[in-house]
């Protein structure tokens, strides 16, 4: 049986920022060091240029993208039933099924699925087929006949196929045999020389001599001259007659059209309904390349466990990876306001009023007595500098600053020089599309019955800010329609000036900003001096304004 996926995903919010990605990587490292299971850092969206710069600088791999954490086929036990060749006999297929305790065998060629054969198919071939010519119609290979009858080839080529004639038993005397044996027939007979001779002279295609009877040299020579195959079997005539149809290749009976297959990345929820409507008990599984890898049954779905998730840098459903409520949340490590995440059972929840999740992760290293490697220290420091805008944000605390300085020492970097490089890399957006810019740091919020989305882009260069604004203004209307929220804001934050120009879409969005900050929106935008934080300044002010209404 294939092992199910027991990984625990450590994952940040959608449209991840540097803190979200770096905290996930660092916390994954810590959890693996503690030996509490197998933990894997994941991401719920594309990384931005700032984060890419940080990961490249410290030689860290970008976490794998995961769009949905619902249980997939690859997360459950897949029975690795080996594919069989389409030319094996029904008997061999039946014996394999008994040996493997399965009711379905996949038929493959070079790793690709050709069909499936089931116990029901084999039973039908035995119980429902009365055509005496089916052995030839099925183009049965002589090697299959010999194997099924546990016999031996006396005359003929074992690799050839029996393709013409009917199967009959020579129970009568030779005079009567002449009236019903036709050319190419396969004749089952005993040790009587006269019967063997008659069948050969009537141009039978094959004779099967039962009871292990001796085949004389004369009969052998005559068979060769007439092109008649001779097979000897140790079984009696009745047993041979009963077994011979089981020598047919499974290709004649297997299901090859309209096969119901599933890919490893299919979600369990989606395939349950498909399974319920089909009579099959087992279903083939393919990988992304379309190659067969195993089988699953309805019973496998009963054992399907939920994926395990640790959330970092968020605790709101609107910001979480899709399918979160179908997963098992183990921990939440965050520094934002408390959202509306519900869990089935108690979880480890670490939430502190700090400027960055990375600061909490640093504390967890110390609390667990673990040293921080140089590259992990580098990405944690970068996360703090990013989230606090190099200590300029009102979210920054003395703890964040002290931790960042310690991490910089471990990583061997100069905070100011590194931060400037990082922000410069992150604000280099001239080659990006409006969509790529918009989603590099976008979050949804729900408060006081109002749903809104807020994106934030930080700049080191005010000239570049003006160019980006012209790109984003037309796009914000498109994004507004796509997300189904009531208001969308984009924060264009100047790190140097410590101010934000905010642009909006949606009915009442401009009035809300005017009330919250005492500014005048003109042409859908306004500059708010001293505002650099979405978490600490924009969202709380909007919440207070909505509550006052």
CA atoms within 13 A on the CB side of 62: 16
293-297, Cβ contacts within 8 angstroms, sequence gap of 24 or more: 293/2, 293/78, 293/80, 293/264, 294/2, 294/78, 294/79, 294/80, 294/81, 295/78, 295/79, 295/81, 295/102, 295/104, 295/106, 296/73, 296/76, 296/77, 296/78, 296/79, 296/262, 297/79
Looking at 415-449, which runs of residues are DSSP E strands? 442-447
pLDDT at 379: 98
CA distance 377 to 34: 18
49-52, Cβ contacts within 8 angstroms, sequence gap of 24 or more: 49/425, 49/426, 49/428, 49/429, 49/432, 49/440, 50/17, 50/18, 50/386, 50/422, 50/423, 50/425, 50/426, 50/458, 51/16, 51/17, 51/18, 51/21, 51/22, 51/426, 52/425
Pick 177 or 233 by higher pLDDT: 233
pLDDT band at 345 (very low <50, low <70, confident <90, very high): confident
pLDDT tens per residue, range 25-39: 999 999 999 998 999
pLDDT at 129: 62
Dihedral of CA atoms 270, 272, 278, 284 in degrees, nearest 10, equals 80
pLDDT reading at 141 higher than 70: yes
Find out whether 4 and 77 touch, Cβ atoms under 8 Å. yes
CA distance 299 to 99: 20
Q: Which CATH number fits domain 139-247: 3.60.21.10, 3.40.190.150, 3.40.1390.20, 3.30.70.270?
A: 3.40.1390.20
Find the helix packing angle between 49-57 and 18-33, rounded to 10°.
40
pLDDT reading at 531 higher than 80: yes
In eight-state DSSP terms, residue 209 is E
Looking at 102-241, which runs of residues are DSSP E strands? 104-109, 112-118, 140-141, 152-155, 161-162, 167-169, 186-189, 206-209, 229-232
The fourth-level CATH superfamily of domain 8-71+306-426 is: inorganic pyrophosphatase (n-terminal core) (3.90.1640.10)
pLDDT reading at 381 higher than 80: yes
Average pLDDT over residues 191-208: 92
pLDDT at 301: 78
Average pLDDT over residues 302-309: 83
pLDDT reading at 82 higher than 70: yes
**Ranges of CATH 3.90.1640.10 domains, the chain:** 8-71+306-426
Question: Looking at domain 434-548, does it have CATH number 3.40.50.1370?
Answer: no
Average pLDDT over residues 402-417: 96
Report the percentage of the chain scoring pLDDT > 90.
61
Looking at domain 73-88+99-123+252-302, its CATH architecture is: Roll (3.10)
Find out whether 87 and 106 touch, Cβ atoms under 8 Å. no
Report the percentage of the chain scoring pLDDT > 70.
97
pLDDT tens per residue, range 65-81: 999 999 999 888 888 99
pLDDT band at 340 (very low <50, low <70, confident <90, very high): low
Which candidate, 492, 508, 545, 503, places its Cα nearest to that of 526?
503
pTM (2 d.p.): 0.71
CA distance 74 to 175: 66
pLDDT tens per residue, range 468-501: 888 888 888 888 888 888 999 999 988 878 899 9
In 3-state terms, what secondary structure has residue 523? coil
**Ranges of CATH 3.40.1390.20 domains, the chain:** 139-247
392: Cα separation from own chain's centroid:
42
Pick 392 or 55 by higher pLDDT: 55
Pick 399 or 547 by higher pLDDT: 399
CA distance 174 to 201: 11
Write the CB contacts of 337 (distance below 8 Å, at least 6 apart in sequence). 535, 539
**Ranges of CATH 3.10.310.20 domains, the chain:** 434-548
b/e code 358-382 from CB counts within 10 Å (16+ = b): bbbbbebbeeeeeebeebbbbbbbb
pLDDT at 3: 44
Q: Tell me the pairing of strands 442-447 and 450-459.
A: antiparallel
- State the average pLDDT for the chain: 90
**Ranges of CATH 3.10.580.10 domains, the chain:** 73-88+99-123+252-302
CA distance 205 to 62: 67
pLDDT band at 1 (very low <50, low <70, confident <90, very high): very low
pLDDT tens per residue, range 19-68: 999 999 999 999 999 998 999 999 999 999 999 999 999 999 999 999 99
């Amino acid at each position: 049986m294939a092992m199910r996926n027991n990984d625990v995903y450590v994952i940040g919010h959608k449209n991840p920022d540097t803190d979200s990605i770096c905290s996930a990587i660092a916390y994954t490292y810590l959890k693996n060091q503690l030996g509490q299971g197998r933990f894997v850092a994941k991401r719920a969206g594309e990384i931005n240029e700032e984060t890419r710069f940080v990961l490249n600088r410290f030689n860290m791999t970008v976490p794998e993208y995961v769009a949905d954490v619902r249980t997939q086929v690859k997360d459950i036990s897949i029975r690795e039933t080996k594919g069989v060749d389409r030319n094996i006999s029904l008997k061999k297929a039946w014996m394999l099924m008994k040996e493997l305790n399965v009711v379905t065998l996949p038929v493959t060629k070079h790793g690709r699925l050709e069909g499936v054969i089931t116990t029901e198919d084999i039973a039908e071939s035995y119980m429902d087929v009365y055509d005496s010519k089916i052995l030839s119609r099925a183009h049965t290979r002589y090697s299959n006949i010999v194997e099924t009858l546990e016999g031996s080839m006396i005359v003929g080529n074992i690799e050839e196929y029996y393709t013409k004639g009917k199967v009959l038993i020579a129970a009568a005397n030779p005079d009567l045999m002449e009236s019903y044996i036709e050319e190419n027939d396969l004749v089952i007979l005993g040790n009587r020389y006269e019967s063997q001779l008659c069948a050969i002279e009537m141009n039978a295609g094959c004779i099967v001599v039962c009871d292990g009877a001796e085949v004389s040299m004369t009969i052998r020579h005559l068979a060769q001259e007439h092109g008649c195959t001779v097979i000897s079997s140790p079984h009696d005539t009745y047993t041979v007659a009963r077994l011979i149809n089981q020598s047919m290749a499974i290709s004649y009976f297997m299901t090859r059209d309209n096969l119901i297959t599933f890919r490893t990345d299919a979600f369990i929820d989606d395939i349950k309904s498909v399974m319920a409507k089909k009579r099959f008990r087992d279903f083939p599984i393919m990988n992304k390349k379309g190659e067969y890898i195993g089988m699953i049954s309805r019973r496998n779905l009963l054992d399907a466990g939920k994926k395990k998730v640790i959330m970092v840098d968020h605790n709101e459903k609107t910001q979480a990876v899709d399918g979160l409520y179908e997963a098992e949340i183990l921990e939440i490590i965050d520094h934002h306001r408390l959202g509306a995440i519900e869990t089935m059972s108690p979880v480890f929840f670490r939430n502190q009023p700090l400027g960055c999740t990375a600061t909490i992760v640093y504390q967890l290293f110390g609390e667990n007595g673990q040293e921080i490697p140089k590259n992990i220290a580098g990405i944690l420091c970068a996360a703090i500098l990013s989230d606090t805008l190099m200590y300029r944000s009102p979210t920054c605390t003395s703890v964040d600053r002290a931790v960042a300085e310690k991490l910089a020492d471990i990583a061997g970097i100069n905070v100011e020089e590194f931060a400037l490089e990082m922000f410069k890399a992150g604000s280099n957006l001239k080659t990006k599309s409006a969509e790529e810019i918009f989603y590099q740091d976008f979050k949804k919020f729900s408060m006081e019955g109002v749903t809104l989305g807020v994106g934030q882009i930080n700049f080191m260069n005010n000239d570049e800010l003006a160019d980006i604004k012209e790109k984003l203004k037309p796009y914000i209307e498109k994004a507004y329609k796509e997300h189904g929220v009531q208001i969308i804001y984009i924060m264009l934050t100047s790190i140097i000036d410590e101010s934000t120009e905010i642009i909006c879409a949606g009915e009442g969005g401009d009035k809300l900003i005017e009330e919250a900050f005492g500014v005048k929106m003109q042409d859908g935008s306004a500059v708010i001096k001293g505002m650099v934080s979405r978490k600490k300044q924009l969202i709380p002010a909007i919440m207070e304004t909505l509550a006052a209404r």
